[in-house]
Chains A and B, each alone.
Chain A
Amino acid sequence: MNIDTLILIFASTVAAATPLILAALGVLVNERAGVLNLGVEGMMLVGAVTAFGVGVTSGSLFLGYVAAMSAGAAMALLFGLLTLTLQTNQVATGLALALFGVGLSAFVGQPFVGLPIERVPAVPIPLLADIPVLGPALFRYDLLVYLSIALYAAVSWFLYRSAAGLRLRAIGEAPGVAHSLGYPVVRIRYLAVMFGGATSGLAGAYLSTALTPMWVEGMSAGRGWIVLALVVFATWRPLRVLLGAYLFGGVTVLQLHAQGLGVDVPSEFLSMLPYLATIVVLVLICRNPKTILLNQPASLGRSFHPDG
Chain B
Amino acid sequence: MDGGGIRAVSAMNNWPWRLERRAEPSIAMKFASPLIAAVAMLVTGFILFSALGLSPLSAFRTFFIEPVASTYGFGELLLKSTPLMLCALGLSIGFRANVWNIGAEGQLIVGALAGGAIALFVDGLGGFAIPLMLLAGILGGMAWAAIAAFLRTRFHTSEILVTLMLVYIAQLLLSYFVHGPWRDPAGFNFPQSQSFDENELLPLLAETVRVNIAFLIALALAGVAWFFVSRTFAGYRMRVAGLAPAAAAYAGYGEKRNIWLALLIGGGMAGLAGVSEVAGPIGLLSPDISPGYGFAAIIVAFVGRLHPIGVVLASLLMSLLYLGGEAAQIDLQLPASVTGLFQGVLLFYLLAADLLITYRIRRARPDVVAAEAIKVDNPVNVQT
Contacts and interface: CB of A to CB of B under 8 A. Distances in A.
Contact of B158 (A106, A180, A232, A272): A232
Given A96-B344, A279-B151, A308-B1, A91 B169 contact: no
B381 interface: yes
Given A99-B343, A107-B337, A283-B151, A221 B168 contact: yes
Interface string A70-96: 000000001000100111110111011
A89 B351 contact: yes
Given A269-B176, A283-B151, A308-B4, A99 B380 contact: no
Contacts of B343: 99-100, 103
A176 B1 CA distance: 9
A107 B156 contact: no
B204 interface: no
Nearest to B174: A268
Contacts of B151: 279, 282-283
Interface in B324-351: 335, 337-345, 347-348, 351
A289 B168 CA distance: 26
A275 interface: yes
A159 to B, nearest CB: 23
B199 interface: no
Contacts of A42: 344
Nearest to A41: B164
A101 B100 CA distance: 20
User: Interface residues of A toward B: which range?
Assistant: 35 or more
A275 B165 contact: yes
Contacts of B244: none
A110 to B, nearest CB: 4
A99 B348 CA distance: 10
Nearest to A228: B161
Interface in B1-48: 1-5, 7-11
A217 interface: yes
B160 A38 contact: yes
Given A85-B9, A96-B347, A286 B155 contact: yes
A283 B157 contact: yes
Interface residues of B, number: 55
Contacts of A65: none
A222 B5 contact: no
B169 A103 contact: no
Q: Which of A101, A180, A217, A286 has the most CB of B within 10 A?
A: A286
Contacts of B179: 268
A115 to B, nearest CB: 15
Contacts of A93: 348, 351
A107 B341 contact: yes
Q: Which of A38, A228, A275 has the most CB of B within 10 A?
A: A275
B155 A287 contact: yes
A306 B162 CA distance: 34
B161 A229 contact: yes
B339 A103 contact: yes
Contacts of A264: none
B208 interface: no
Contact of A266 (B169, B180, B298, B352): B180
B172 to A, nearest CB: 4
Contacts of B1: 176, 302-305, 308
A292 B380 contact: no
Interface in B268-302: 295, 298-299, 302
Contact of A307 (B5, B173, B302, B352): B5
A272 B166 CA distance: 9
Contact of B157 (A103, A282, A302): A282
B195 interface: no
B209 interface: no
A217 B340 CA distance: 12
A86 B355 contact: yes
A208 to B, nearest CB: 16
Interface of B: 1-5, 7-11, 100, 102, 151, 155-158, 160-162, 164-169, 172-173, 175-176, 179-180, 295, 298-299, 302, 335, 337-345, 347-348, 351-352, 354-355, 378, 380-381
8 contacts: A85-B9, A88-B354, A88-B355, A99-B343, A107-B340, A226-B165, A275-B165, A278-B165
State the 5 A-B residue pairs at the shortest beta-carbon distance, nearest first.
A100-B344, A103-B340, A307-B5, A106-B337, A308-B1
Given A103-B339, A186-B11, 6 more contacts: A88-B355, A92-B302, A103-B342, A104-B340, A221-B168, A286-B155
